[in-house]
Structure 1
Amino acid sequence: MLGLMQDRPLLISSLIEHAATYHPEREIVARTMEGTIHRTNYAEVHRRAKRVANALKTLDIDFSDRVGTLAWNTHRHLELYFGVSGSGAVLHTVNPRLFPEQIEYIINHAEDKVLFFDTTFAPLIEKLAPKLQSVRHFIAMTDRAHMPALDIPHLLCYEDLLAAQSEEYVWPEFDERSASSLCYTSGTTGNPKGVLYSHRSTVLHSLMECSPDTFGVCSSMCILLAVPMFHANAWGMPYATAMVGAKMVMPGPYLDGQSLYELMRDEGVTFSQAVPTVWLMLFQYLDQHPEIDMKKLGLKTIGVGGAATPRTMIERFERDFGADYVQGWGMTETSPIGVIGRLLPKHAGLSQEEQTSVKMKAGRAVWGVGLKIVGDDGKELPHDGVAYGHLYVRGPWIAGGYFKDEGGKVLDQDGWFPTGDIATVDADGYVQLVDRAKDVIKSGGEWISSIDLENTAIGHPAVQEAAIIAAPHPKWQERPLLLAVKRPGKDLTREELLQYLGERVAKWWVPDDVVFVSELPHTATGKLLKTKLREQFRDYRLPTA
């Protein structure tokens, strides 16, 4: 016997329609490509999203056709988020930080029929256009006055395109399991693979982001969207923000410390998320301006993900900003919420240092995401915080495979997705990442966590960034090699850093050598690019070897 509740499809169009109906005047602020501030609201975004949907009709975009974007966080990109998916087409957000060859591959693999782009990417578009086999129209996301002079066919102006369309449009209803958006992994090995989200998965993921045990997104918030909209749909925040009608502030291409600080100050930002490297740029700006009192900003919550966070970053946000720090873990394949690092009531009595230790974990299980860890033999391991193994997840916003079946079957026999991480899970559901399976160092048969070593090294006041890779050793097979970037104006020797680590980690974990470098390579999503480091230091000979 079935229940007697109404069955309405969970569609992305319902989010912007709700925002426009019940939060029409709630402000959306965006910094444009030219650096000026543009102000709009949910009612206007809704009207223009309908113009987008009508424009796609004139461009012969059908249901499930892919529509690509090479764009920053702006009001126009937000209009595409709702106009494209709401019409039944699939929004394909392309990461412009990838290599041109990867971008070419991704657009051709997705078979994008239309490509919207911000003017900062005009030279890239001109170079790639002849190689993009399926793209029928290129649309510059600007007005007529700022149109780039490009020698490419079928070039259109975004504002001209929308001006020619009506705001009258009825959002279609269709199966909520229909594809809504497409995002490719950063592809550190091999070609990037496409993760194809559905309307249902996106709306359920948005609901969870509004839960107090995750990010608690609500209408009273002013959210600075610092996570790029081409990175796992900006962690789903544009959808959750519309769901509740929160104020949204969009930085465009300007993610430097000064620009972010000015937006926080001028717009009254209370919540923001970003990868650690973005916050390091903010810290560098603040270090140059000690007269700034960050507590006056009124920032209440900072969300961090994409890479492990050092203790010093957590302590600085809570001490200098007076903000609650919330770490999360996820992947493109998890939409991306997997676990969120909120404290439990039983942690209230802990010291500040003890609470910070809990917050340094990847996060705690949330409803909708199941967790299990398995050993190399495939047997499931206990959630006791001690046993570590390969982390698997499953749930309604977890990928079941890749677009066009790239990589073949990825789930195990019970429908669990392998994350590629080594982790422990304790009885409360807190996940502690030990390492990426491909990055873990096996020394004399024992595992050494590069993540823990990197976080400890970054705790040194003279270290700005650190990476640990395995170097070959005749006796121990592998030993840790520390690659470190010094903070500007700071002096630090190899011996001083090794002594610092020796006082904080097990003796056999201490790296066998330190190499100071001017910078470390990163993936297109801000993570350390260890494949490049391993190649660069492939023949490095440790002094202990």
Structure 2
Amino acid sequence: MIPMMNSQLTITSLMKHAEQINGAVEVVSVTADNPRHRYTYRDAFARVRQLANALSAIGLEQGDTVATFAWNDYRHLEIYYAVSCSGMVCHTINPRLFPEQIEYIVNHGRDKWIFVDLTMVPLLESLHHVMPEVKGFVVMTDQAHMPDTSLPNAHCYEALIAEHTAEFEWPDLDENTPSALCYTSGTTGNPKGVMYTHRSTLLHCYASIAPDVFGLSVTDVALPIVPMFHVNGWGLVYSAPMTGAKLVMPGPKMGCGETLCTLINEEKITVSAGVPTVWLALLDYLKKSGSTIESLNRLTVGGAACPFVIYDDFRTKYGVDVQQGWGMTEMNPLGTFNGNAPETVSALPADQYDKMRLKQGRPVFGVEMKIVDADNKALPWDGISAGAVKVRGPWIINEYYNYDGQTLDDDGWFETGDVACIDEYGYMQITDRVKDVIKSGGEWISSIELENCAVNHPKVAEAAVVGMPHPTWSERPLLLVILQEGESLTREEMLGWFEGKVAKWWIPEECLFVDTLPHTATGKLSKKDIRAQYADFSWPS
């Protein structure tokens, strides 16, 4: 006898709950064809059923892969649910990838149809000829804004779903059915596919809404700025409907400080999440405009380490609690979170407390973690010993999609590629990527810590540190700096900033002031491209 019911953990069950219990809650979107679209979860899921009928009508079947090139808005939300709950795979594609990577991803993912935002149609018009398995395209707009496009077999989204009823019988799915596909940014070699399941998505969702993580509830208004094309938007498009939080999505305006400020104030946003560049853009607008953001009480920084200026300015000037999370595509993405601090940490002196809050946080229940040395020996959690981070858990990758290589180590752990130390409280501090750590005179130097220190200079807009070959020390750190508009610094002033903030032997050997720095498609510094760009660099004699 089985003592408890064995209900399947599916996105369909989440959707049905959200429609029945939270159906009256609003969903607000900025789109290319509407500056402020507004409806409810009940409206949304009725349209999801229309879309599910449309997917069937155009010949899609369970197991097929459907791609999206889209921003965070209500139509993208509808596609998420209609595709996955129909037993198909929703393949979100980052439009900022290089054309060659997009071609590879679409073909490797075997996408059958592509849903494309109005603003991204020209991108696909230049690429559709190298996508032989794609049968058609759906432009995410209404008939009034439908472009005259060269895309073959192109349909208007609103016209497509208008032909169908809002009655649909959802298939009974096993919880291990694939639901979504997301590819890594391909910093080394071709991007790799990570296939999420209904079960992994639901378990990740349960973990993310915990009080010491995102802490979402029916009283919240959530603004997910992290793109839905990147790791399912950190799961917020699932956790908000699950809890009944109002959902506000910025569409193509996610990088505009003025738009974000307006949405926060007019929609009374309480919680938001995004990468550091987004928060710097908002801070810049707030500073120049003199605006405030009274309703916002907490925001999450992820995707890269949180600079002190973001943590300090939001907290001290605007009363916003800045939290930090860490994870990766292969982890759905949540791994650690630095939200509410335990009493032992809260009681620390202010400078130590701030330092702790800038770490990547403690492992979320469901994520096992360890750090190991070069011999795969587990290292102590003493806040000093640094090693390669390995993880395992129910929403962590088991194998890459359609991939011949090895994904896990021989003991079943996934090696993240990050180097970190973990202190006695369980707080992890990422010190570098394995491929980016600087080995100088046999000792490790953290390029991330040097970059964070540099960005904390009031005249610095962005900074990158890479290890370059050195005749004496094997490698030494080279600092590249973009200054704030209208500011000036000398090499000596910049390097002098590090005095007393990092170990003396960590201080970069040289500093170059540059106009731009290369980034990956997800907005991170592209160390690979920086090293290639400065391959001929020579140290001053």
- TM-score, length of structure 2 as denominator length: 0.98
| 1:353 Cα offset (Å) | 2.8
Q: Distance in 2 between matches of 1:226 and 1:80?
A: 18
Residue type at the aligned position of 2:532: E
Matches within 5 A, 1:331-480: 331-342=328-339, 343-406=341-404, 408-480=405-477
Residue type at the aligned position of 1:222: V
Q: Distance in 1 between matches of 2:141 and 2:151?
A: 16
SS at match of 1:339: strand
Deviations along 1:49-80, one digit per CA (max 9) or x if unpaired, are 11111111111211111000000011000001
Q: Distance in 2 between matches of 1:351 and 1:262?
A: 36
The aligned residue for residue 131 of structure 2 is: 132
Matches within 5 A, 1:172-251: 172-251=171-250
Q: Distance in 2 between matches of 1:352 and 1:28?
A: 39
Is contact 1:373-1:388 (8 Å) kept? yes
The aligned residue for residue 286 of structure 1 is: 286
Aligned pair 1:270/2:267, yes or no? no
Instruction: Report the CA distance shift for 1:539/1:254 in structure 2 as closer, same or farther (over 3 A).
Output: same
The aligned residue for residue 71 of structure 1 is: 70
Aligned pair 1:257/2:257, yes or no? yes
| 1:299 Cα offset (Å) | 0.6
Q: Distance in 1 between matches of 2:306 and 2:53?
A: 44
Is contact 1:512-1:543 (8 Å) kept? no
Q: Distance in 2 between matches of 1:162 and 1:13?
A: 19
Is contact 1:126-1:150 (8 Å) kept? yes
Q: Distance in 2 between matches of 1:70 and 1:146?
A: 17
Is contact 2:32-2:119 (8 Å) kept? yes
Q: Distance in 2 between matches of 1:310 and 1:153?
A: 45
| 1:6 Cα offset (Å) | 0.6
Q: Distance in 2 between matches of 1:130 and 1:491?
A: 48
SS at match of 2:39: strand
Residue type at the aligned position of 2:378: E
Is contact 1:71-1:117 (8 Å) kept? yes
| 1:133 Cα offset (Å) | 1.1
Q: Distance in 2 between matches of 1:404 and 1:293?
A: 48
The aligned residue for residue 167 of structure 2 is: 168
Q: Which moved more, 1:15-24 or 1:325-334?
A: 15-24
Deviations along 1:57-111, one digit per CA (max 9) or x if unpaired, are 1112111110000000110000011111011000000100101111111111101
Aligned counterpart in structure 1 of residue 315 of structure 2, from 315, 318, 322 = 318
| 1:287 Cα offset (Å) | 2.4
Is contact 2:72-2:252 (8 Å) kept? yes
Gaps of 5+ in 1: none
Is contact 1:64-1:89 (8 Å) kept? yes
Percent identical: 49
The aligned residue for residue 489 of structure 1 is: 486
Is contact 1:50-1:83 (8 Å) kept? yes
The aligned residue for residue 114 of structure 1 is: 113
| 1:44 Cα offset (Å) | 0.7
Is contact 1:384-1:426 (8 Å) kept? yes
Q: Distance in 2 between matches of 1:146 and 1:496?
A: 53
Q: Which moved more, 1:2-11 or 1:118-127?
A: 2-11
CA RMSD between the two structures: 1.1
- TM-score, length of structure 1 as denominator length: 0.97
Q: Distance in 1 between matches of 2:425 and 2:410?
A: 26
Deviations along 1:241-273, one digit per CA (max 9) or x if unpaired, are 111111010001012111111111110000000
Q: Distance in 2 between matches of 1:543 and 1:371?
A: 42
SS at match of 1:53: helix
Is contact 1:440-1:447 (8 Å) kept? yes
Deviations along 1:36-56, one digit per CA (max 9) or x if unpaired, are 110011001110111111111
The aligned residue for residue 19 of structure 1 is: 18
| 1:352 Cα offset (Å) | 3.4
Q: Distance in 2 between matches of 1:189 and 1:411?
A: 18
Is contact 2:420-2:428 (8 Å) kept? yes
| 1:4 Cα offset (Å) | 1.0
| 1:152 Cα offset (Å) | 2.6
Is contact 1:339-1:363 (8 Å) kept? yes
SS at match of 1:195: strand
Residue type at the aligned position of 2:343: P
Q: Distance in 1 between matches of 2:58 and 2:444?
A: 55
Q: Distance in 1 between matches of 2:35 and 2:496?
A: 49
The aligned residue for residue 143 of structure 1 is: 142
SS at match of 2:493: helix
Aligned counterpart in structure 2 of residue 502 of structure 1, from 478, 499, 502 = 499
Matches within 5 A, 1:49-60: 49-60=48-59
Q: Distance in 1 between matches of 2:158 and 2:286?
A: 38
The aligned residue for residue 82 of structure 1 is: 81
SS at match of 2:127: helix
SS at match of 2:498: helix
Q: Distance in 2 between matches of 1:105 and 1:32?
A: 28
Q: Distance in 2 between matches of 1:311 and 1:26?
A: 35
Deviations along 1:204-226, one digit per CA (max 9) or x if unpaired, are 00001110111111111100110
| 1:468 Cα offset (Å) | 0.4
Is contact 1:9-1:173 (8 Å) kept? no
Is contact 2:33-2:141 (8 Å) kept? no
Q: Distance in 1 between matches of 2:257 and 2:518?
A: 20
| 1:354 Cα offset (Å) | 2.3
Aligned pair 1:526/2:516, yes or no? no
Gaps of 5+ in 2: none
Is contact 1:16-1:42 (8 Å) kept? no
Is contact 2:182-2:230 (8 Å) kept? yes
Q: Distance in 2 between matches of 1:522 and 1:352?
A: 34
SS at match of 1:45: helix
Q: Distance in 1 between matches of 2:309 and 2:74?
A: 34
Residue type at the aligned position of 1:147: M
Q: Distance in 2 between matches of 1:115 and 1:14?
A: 26
The aligned residue for residue 538 of structure 2 is: 541
| 1:379 Cα offset (Å) | 1.4
| 1:35 Cα offset (Å) | 4.9
Deviations along 1:15-48, one digit per CA (max 9) or x if unpaired, are 2211110111100000011351100110011101
- Count residues with an aligned counterpart: 539
| 1:3 Cα offset (Å) | 4.2
Q: Distance in 2 between matches of 1:274 and 1:145?
A: 32
Residue type at the aligned position of 1:262: T
| 1:426 Cα offset (Å) | 2.1
Q: Distance in 1 between matches of 2:298 and 2:90?
A: 29
